[in-house]
Amino acid sequence: MNSKKGHIVSSSTITPELVRLDTDFGETPGDVIGNLAKLVAGAGRTSEPSTLADAATAREEKAGTGVNGRVAIPHCRTSAVSEPTLAFARLSHAVDFAGPDGDAELVFLIAAPEGGGKEHLKILSKLARALVRSDFLDTLRNAATPEEVVAAVNVVLNAAPKEKKAAAADTAKKSATAGAAAGSTAVAGAPKTETPKPKKRIVAVTSCATGIAHTYMAADALEQAANKRNDVELRIEPQGSSGGEPVDPDFIASADAVIFAHDVAVRDRERFAGKPVVDSPVKRGINEPNIMIDEAIAAADNPNARRVPGGAAVESSGEAQGDVGWPKRIQQSIMTGVSYMVPFVAAGGLLLALGFLIGGYDVADGWQVIPLEYSPTNLPGNDVLIDGETVTFDRSGWALYMGAVLFAIGQLAMDFVVAALSGYIGYGIAGRPGIAPGFVGGAISVMVGAGFIGGLVTGLLAGFIAYWIGSWKVPRWLGSLMPVVIIPLLTSLAVGLLMFLLLGRPLGAIMTGLQGWLESMSGSSAVLLGVIIGLMMCFDLGGPVNKAAYLFGTAGLSAGTDAAYEIMAAVMISGMVPPIALSIATFLRAKLFTPAEQENGKSAWLLGLSFVSEGAIPFAAADPFRVIPSMMLGGAAAGATSMALGVGAKAPHGGIFVIFAYEPWWGLFIALAVGVVVATIAIIAAKQLWPNKAVEEAAQKADEAETAEVAVA
Answer yes or no: do 481 and 557 share one domain: no
Answer yes or no: do 544 and 669 share one domain: yes
pLDDT for the residue 3: 37
Q: Among 124-128, 448-452, 455-459, name the most confident range.
A: 455-459
Cβ–Cβ under 8 Å, residues 286 and 229: no
604: pLDDT confidence band, cut at 50, 70 and 90? confident
- Alpha carbon of 101 to those of 67, 96, 139, 222, 467: distances in Å? 8, 10, 19, 18, 40
Cβ–Cβ under 8 Å, residues 143 and 149: yes
Structural domains counted in the chain: 4
Asked if residue 502 is part of any domain, the answer here is yes
321: pLDDT confidence band, cut at 50, 70 and 90? very low
Q: Mean pLDDT throughout 363-391?
A: 88
Q: 364-387 burial by CB neighbour count: b if 16+ within 10 A, else e?
A: bbbbebbbeebeeeeebeeebeee
Asked if residue 215 is part of any domain, the answer here is yes
CA 560 to centroid of chain Cα atoms: 33
pLDDT for the residue 436: 93
Residue 415 has phi, psi (to 5 degrees) of: -65, -20
The SS3 assignment for 72 reads strand
Whether residue 273 has pLDDT greater than 80 = yes
The pLDDT tens digits for 276-308 are 999 888 878 887 889 999 999 999 888 888 888
Asked if residue 315 is part of any domain, the answer here is no
213: pLDDT confidence band, cut at 50, 70 and 90? low
* Amino acid letter, residue 180: A
3-state SS track over 41-71: HHCCCCCCHHHHHHHHHHHHHHCCCEECCCE
CATH number reported for the structural domain that contains residue 53 in this entry:
3.40.930.10
Name the percent of the chain lying above pLDDT 70.
79
Q: Mean pLDDT throughout 463-478?
A: 85
**Residue (of 53, 200, 576, 244) closest to 568 by Cα position:** 576
Answer yes or no: do 510 and 656 share one domain: no
Asked if residue 190 is part of any domain, the answer here is no
pTM higher than 0.85:
no
Element (H, E) at 338: helix 326-359
Least confident of 63-72, 133-142, 304-313: 304-313
The residues that are catalytic are: 75, 208
Whether residue 489 has pLDDT greater than 90 = yes
Whether residue 117 has pLDDT greater than 60 = no
Cβ–Cβ under 8 Å, residues 3 and 9: yes
- Alpha carbon of 480 to those of 122, 235, 455, 574: distances in Å? 35, 22, 29, 49
Answer yes or no: do 257 and 390 share one domain: no
Asked if residue 168 is part of any domain, the answer here is no
Asked if residue 371 is part of any domain, the answer here is yes
Q: Mean pLDDT throughout 647-662?
A: 80
Answer yes or no: do 292 and 339 share one domain: no
Answer yes or no: do 135 and 89 share one domain: yes
Answer yes or no: do 43 and 151 share one domain: yes
Q: What is the dihedral of CA 79, 80, 83, 89, to 10 degrees?
A: -140
pLDDT for the residue 194: 54
- Alpha carbon of 35 to those of 12, 66, 91, 513, 596: distances in Å? 20, 17, 12, 62, 17
Answer yes or no: do 352 and 364 share one domain: yes
Q: Which of 485, 518, 551 is the last residue of a domain?
A: 518
Q: Which of 518, 543, 567 is the last residue of a domain?
A: 518
The pLDDT tens digits for 126-155 are 777 777 777 888 899 999 999 999 988 888
Asked if residue 505 is part of any domain, the answer here is yes
654: pLDDT confidence band, cut at 50, 70 and 90? confident
**Residue (of 91, 111, 86) closest to 29 by Cα position:** 91
Answer yes or no: do 342 and 476 share one domain: yes
Give residue 431's domain range. Answer: 327-518
User: What is the distance between the alpha carbons of residues 219 and 236, in angstroms, rounded to a whole number?
Assistant: 6
pLDDT for the residue 494: 95
Answer yes or no: do 145 and 126 share one domain: yes
Answer yes or no: do 532 and 514 share one domain: no
Q: Which of 497, 518, 539 is the last residue of a domain?
A: 518
Residues 6+ apart with CB under 8 A from 529: 521, 567, 570, 639, 643
Asked if residue 273 is part of any domain, the answer here is yes
Answer yes or no: do 285 and 398 share one domain: no
